Amino acid sequence: MDDAYARSVSEVLEAFGVDPTRGLSDSQVAENAKIYGRNVLPQEGSTPLWKLILKQFDDLLVKILIAAAFVSFLLALIDGETGLTAFLEPSVILMILAANAAVGVITETNAEKALEELRAYQADVATVLRNGCFSILPATELVPGDVVEVGVGCKVPADMRMIEILSNQLRVDQAILTGESCSVAKDLESTAATNAVYQDKTNVLFSGTVVVSGRARAVVVGVGSNTAMGNIREAMLRTEDEATPLKKKLDEFGTFLAKVIAGICVLVWVVNIGHFHDPAHGGFLRGAIHYFKIAVALAVAAIPEGLPAVVTTCLALGTKRMARLNAIVRSLPSVETLGCTTVICSDKTGTLTTNMMSVSKICVVRSVHRGPITTDFTVTGTTFAPEGLIFDMTGMQLEFPAQFPCLLHIAMCSSLCNESTLQYNPDKRNYEKIGESTEVALRVLVEKVGLPGFDSMPSALNMLTKHERASYCNRYWEHQFKKISLLEFSRDRKMMSVLCIRKQQEIMFSKGAPESIISRCTHILCNDDGSSVPLTAEIRNELEARFQSFAGKDTLRCLALALKRMPTGQQTLTYEDESNLTFIGLVGMLDPPREEVRNAMLSCMSAGIRVIVVTGDNKSTAESICCQIGAFDHIDDFTGYSYTASEFEELPPLQRTTALQRMVLFTRVEPSHKKMLVEALQNQNEVVAMTGDGVNDAPALKKADIGIAMGSGTAVAKSASDMVLADDNFASIVAAVAEGRAIYNNTKQFIRYMISSNIGEVVCIFVAAVLGMPETLVPVQLLWVNLVTDGLPATAIGFNKQDSDVMMAKPRKVSEAVVSGWLFFRYLVIGVYVGLATIAGFVWWFIYYDGGPKLPYSELVNFDSCSTRMTTYPCTIFNDRGPSTVSMTVLVVVEMFNALNNLSENQSLFVIPPWSNLWLVGSIILTMFLHVLILYVKPLSVLFSVTPLSWAEWMVVLYLSFPVIIIDEVLKFFSRNPRGRRFHFRFRRADLLPKKEAHDK
């Protein structure tokens, strides 16, 4: 029943045909079970493993690599190759792709855990009325129409409409569903609100929420998928994971690269059609196959096989650094996403605030004989931990607070007129509450006040174990006084009272809403001397003014405390006893903002990141918190910046668009609103980070570009998120954003490094093929260069230091290409030089090297007709491994020098020297060691078709390689000066990498 909240109790009971005194009969239960199904969240069928694996290979570059591996294997077999050489290249390619696929599968299976975690919030059992008798049944057996009884501590087993309250009140903690910081009072009255949100449905108990006060009966109106929890599950199922900005740009780059590769491969093959008939090939078909093999080698050279592995490694290194900042990354690509985040939608309760109600101010009457009449005390400590100090109005710390009469009696009343429990959880290493947050806040205050009469009390309390310390002072007062009668809180009285006895003296302690307590007081307790004096109109006005200040300006939740000496021997309390009270004091409490949040908000603003506070709380409370954390700095009128969910939904489309661009606060929201907000911002091309800790946040966390859950939050929120804040601290997000930006900068550097290296390989093979030279590099050598000599330095570039001004720049645009314009030109120049230097080494060996054949250039470019002509040299010279070894070594060494160029995009090596990144220096040394290993160790040299080099060959390699440093220094110089920037502007329009217009801002 979707509209049970809008119907009266009798209408709901009549709709299900149930007698509230007998419950459903067995036949009705069976019939309803058939109609509505079981009270369980359906288990979603997981994606088959084979489908997840296939999905990882659904990428154009990957498909080209697989095709290249398959073709190279077939060509090897056609050429009669067997054993390791035939299988090496395709095997290595397939192993790399398999490793990346494994990472992808593991990442995707994490997403399905969020749906399973929802089951943990379903109740196990329920007290059900059937056939006139109450019995405890598994909650899964509940059907709509069942009458269920709930009490304090009960987890609500299904969505239920209240039909009878069996105590003075019923309060429910539904923070996991709505994010409200305080428990909610429930009633029986139907709701007339249009477009009612969960907070408006005060007569409905929602599945998974917890009863914190009172006892009641309700009729089940929704089970399984038809509950509030079921709606969250459906929202999560409908939410598709968004590709990260880096993934999108790499996909676009891959598509572009694939087209270029295909074009070059076809061009190389077509250009050499005239050579298919050359006698050296043994026929037209074998000539076609030979040049097809060169085209395949070109494809292998052009595709940076190590790129996926290097990106994954760099992001993994980033996750380690972020873990040290208390940001635990669950999804590797989200590390980079933080760098371009433009909007952070932050949950208020538990994220910007501690989600632990605490007393922050106390007001008592000093004395009626001298002014001022009242005085305030400030209480520190913002958690449930019994740690905090009390200061007077001058800022002086009270060394022994319990020596002050009013504070002493406030502690007594707070401890005794209380139904909550505070305990220490050793597993979680924190203090936890059972019951109302406001009552637990009073218990914590008792511990901060301490006990009277002991000079060593503060230090003595600190010597206790955390378990003993949790309620030491509260237990002291509970042993001193014996409770003999209780008047529970009721909505009409707005107060509760407890009758206690100590040393034959009966005392009644009362607490409640200030307006209710003060109106029943006739005397006041003075803090200066502990005397009780009549409450005059002047003092009453002063107390009401202080209450209005606490509740209005400071937006504190206020409670007044009072006591009354009762006649000796009285054993019960009546409502009439709640009169002629003596006022003790006024306490103001709030869910306090975290201390670090204000600075974090300022950092976000300076970094060009907008923060929108999203909460289920009411508007005034949330606006007060926003003022305290700096979200409303420089804003006097909140109109246009603060909206409730219903106000936002009523806006016309055009005004809604404008509101999204200015919004700072979004209140009275439920789960669907959070997800709607994320989608609306994404439609405006914003990159959205969403923080949250409750079950209600899960759909929005999953939908956002990056979902950030709190470490103390629900398992559902963590499973649906990309990142978890171990310390629940909003400030950690700012540190994580800075790290994300640095990671992206480093990612760009090593991607550009790999691109320029691969351009060099393509130029080398393409120019050699066009000129008609022998193969300068064989495929297995290209594979070695791409995986080892490219991969290690590229990974080390990920350790480049973070720029000092990384958080002063605005977020980059999503449409920004990884490599574009002037930068692409720069790396094209570098790539062309790398390719020409590699060919130069090959040509030098044949024409100029004393240990080579010293052929004329014309003989080199006509090598394929050698067998048909009379020559002064044997044709087998073209099969010598020496020239390709020189070419391969030039390629390796020039790329090592090029790696040093990538310490910074524009800064010279004289400003940022190589030793600023020792990991890069180490990777270069290791790479050269591995290269020397394959040159001089016999089995490896045979495998890679290389031969040892002489000293003269090494000197030529260095001469050809080092100029890449000089060329890039010149290009960096142009990048830094105005002429370079103007040159950059001319290239911007002719962006050589694709952009999707849909993502342009």
Q: Alpha-carbon distance 383 to 448, whole Å?
A: 12
Q: Alpha-carbon distance 491 to 185, whole Å?
A: 9
Q: Alpha-carbon distance 351 to 730, whole Å?
A: 6
Q: At what angle do helices 882-901 and 918-936 cross, to 10 degrees?
A: 180
Q: Alpha-carbon distance 164 to 148, whole Å?
A: 10
Q: Alpha-carbon distance 444 to 405, whole Å?
A: 19
- Structure tokens, 835: 């390719």
Contact between 843 and 860 under an 8 Å Cβ cutoff? The reply is: yes
Give the containing element (helix H, strand E) for 346.
strand 343-347
CA diameter of the chain = 132
Cα-Cα-Cα-Cα dihedral sign, residues 465, 471, 475, 477: positive
- Per-position b or e across 917-926, b if 16+ CB within 10 A of its CB: bebbbebbee
Q: How far is CA 149 from CA 31, 125, 141, 209, 718, in A?
A: 22, 11, 15, 14, 32
Catalytic residue flag (residue 803): no
Chain CA centroid to CA 773, Å: 54
DSSP assignment string, 695-744: GGGHHHHHHSSEEEEETTS-HHHHHH-SEEETT--HHHHHHHHHHHHHHH
For residue 129, count other CB atoms closer than 10 A to its CB.
21
Contact between 742 and 799 under an 8 Å Cβ cutoff? The reply is: no
Cα-Cα-Cα-Cα dihedral sign, residues 489, 493, 499, 505: positive
Q: How far is CA 638 from CA 196, 486, 552, 632, 665, in A?
A: 24, 44, 16, 8, 9
DSSP assignment string, 814-833: TT--SS-HHHHHHHHHHHHH
Q: Alpha-carbon distance 933 to 826, whole Å?
A: 33
Catalytic residue among 347, 591, 697, 790: 347
Q: Alpha-carbon distance 498 to 506, whole Å?
A: 10
Give the containing element (helix H, strand E) for 519.
helix 514-519
Residues β-bridged to residue 377: 362
DSSP assignment string, 59-93: SHHHHHHHHHHHHHHHHHHHTT--THHHHHHHHHH
Contact between 646 and 207 under an 8 Å Cβ cutoff? The reply is: no
Catalytically active residues are 347
